[in-house]
Chains A and B, each alone.
Chain A
């Protein structure tokens, strides 16, 4: 064997960049007493009824494979849920796949639709996995930058400007990680016109759908004309506080699901059986808890937005998810400098906005999925930091 492993690695593996979050994680994890606003998952533990149902399933010996797309019982519950909550109708028998996290669902979608060189528009700032997943599927990720003036929502004009002959699909995540912004029904209708005109597929990441605060969430698939071109992706991680379970799902038109299922059956076979049983319980009996969690996030969001603005970090009011995305321009620092210096000086971890795409530069992502006590302390420290920066700037 040669000493140099790089000659064994594929070109693809070499070209994929490690996530910018990873670098920052290593730094923050090495320090003690850090208050983290960098966590992209709920601070709630999975509701007990869901855990209990899963424990019982293990006691009863549900340890075998399930059907490739998942337990029919679970697919049925997913379809009921999608119909009741978002008014979209899918057939549980052949239009749903239960995946290992929503991330895998996104991966499947790209692999099923992309030919080499075809382009996927990714509305940025965006979750860090989208662009690499497009590249791994042989496609070209094309960022569509949004601006704070529109509350980080993509406009039809921005979309139109990014479309080329090679554009195959649009990936959109609303409510959004990292900005928290949520597209309203009217805004979706406007985007739909462009999508229809250019005959695109929409991959709609609706993982934060349960966490919408001011307006009712609208699924892209519920917009007129969009059902037939939407791959709806959702899961249990955020709304049901089940991140570590890695359970997501796809709902889409029949032929698209068939293609994705072919890939899924060879790569994964099925999602874990016992966890699917927990997910059935989640969809049947957790409405109250989900609603209480939503309200709790909403209160914390209100507190964060008001307080960040008070301490001099301009922050729009995000309509969903559990992130706020304040501007840090007033400090004269770049996103990375701000995050690094804040961590060093005050031991508060936030995520620099530029890791989510160029248009995130000048911003940081703060997750408020943390107790009020911690949030209060974090903001006190951030205020001290911002004031010390003012002194520096005024010289």
Chain B
């Protein structure tokens, strides 16, 4: 879809901070509040703006840390629909937080989150492996999150070190 440069500007502003008001965004792109509101509504309807999630570092909150695993899955593609049918089926499980079709040694890359190791193990053995067309799975548990969705979680302490007033 071809968007205007103003629409792209609005997307970039929202991607950085979706809490800015329509009036503020309007002043940043030199437009008016009504136009910005309508543009955002249109972009939401077109599913270009998908949602406004908050990125939370749950591992900092006691008792809230999730166990995350990446699973490489090999699949026999199905005639007529390729990988789509089996991928869409896997995507419906709420435990699955992301799912991509990959080039290379395996076909699907799944990120799965659970409260316990057991929960993930049982998902893999009882749900994922038993799906027709799934040939094999390799599960990798995530040990530590350094960066996610462009945000540095560990070791990225780049605070403002500038002096208060400089020429």
Contacts and interface: CB of A to CB of B under 8 A. Distances in A.
Do A and B interact?
yes
Nearest to A350: B165
Interface in A180-205: none
A351 to B, nearest CB: 6
Contacts of A36: 164-165
A300 interface: yes
B27 A351 contact: no
Interface in B10-43: 12-13, 17, 20, 24, 27-30
A346 interface: no
Contacts of A128: 167
A295 B20 CA distance: 17
B164 A306 contact: no
B29 A38 contact: no
Interface string A1-42: 000000000000000000101001100110000101011110
Contact of A299 (B28, B162, B163, B164): B28
Given A43-B160, A295-B12, A372-B17, A303 B28 contact: yes
Given A28-B164, A307-B27, A373 B17 contact: yes
Interface residues on chain B, size class: 10 to 19
A300 B13 CA distance: 10
B103 interface: no
For B13, B29, B30, which residue has the most chain A Cβ atoms within 10 angstroms?
A: B30
Contacts of B160: 43
B5 to A, nearest CB: 10
Nearest to B12: A295
B158 interface: yes
Interface string A354-390: 0000000000000000001100100000000000000
B9 interface: yes
A303 B24 contact: yes
B167 A19 contact: yes
A1 to B, nearest CB: 34
Q: How large is the interface on A (under 10, 10 to 19, 20 to 34, 35 or more residues)?
A: 20 to 34
Contacts of A299: 9, 13, 28-29
A376 B29 CA distance: 16
Interface in B51-78: none
B157 to A, nearest CB: 11
B4 interface: no
B166 interface: yes
A302 B167 contact: no
A372 B24 contact: yes
A40 B27 contact: no
Interface string B88-126: 000000000000000000000000000000000000000
Nearest to A299: B28
A185 B58 CA distance: 54
B28 A300 contact: yes
A351 B17 CA distance: 28
Given A45-B158, A295-B9, A295-B12, A306 B27 contact: yes
A38 B20 CA distance: 23
A21 B17 contact: no
B19 to A, nearest CB: 9
A299 B29 CA distance: 6
Interface in B123-147: none
Given A295-B12, A372-B20, A303 B27 contact: yes
Nearest to B30: A302
B69 to A, nearest CB: 29
Nearest to A23: B165
B161 to A, nearest CB: 9
Contact of A41 (B9, B12, B27, B162): B162
23 contacts: A19-B167, A21-B165, A21-B166, A24-B165, A25-B165, A25-B166, A29-B164, A36-B164, A38-B165, A38-B166, A39-B162, A39-B164, A40-B167, A41-B162, A43-B160, A43-B162, A128-B167, A299-B9, A299-B29, A306-B27, A349-B164, A351-B165, A372-B20
Given A39-B162, A372-B20, 18 more contacts: A19-B167, A21-B165, A24-B165, A25-B164, A28-B164, A29-B164, A39-B163, A40-B166, A43-B162, A299-B9, A299-B28, A300-B28, A302-B30, A303-B24, A303-B28, A349-B164, A349-B165, A372-B17
Interface of A: 19, 21, 24-25, 28-29, 34, 36, 38-41, 43, 45, 127-129, 177, 295, 299-300, 302-303, 306-307, 349, 351, 372-373, 376
Closest 6 CB pairs of A and B: A38-B165, A299-B28, A25-B165, A306-B27, A28-B164, A40-B166
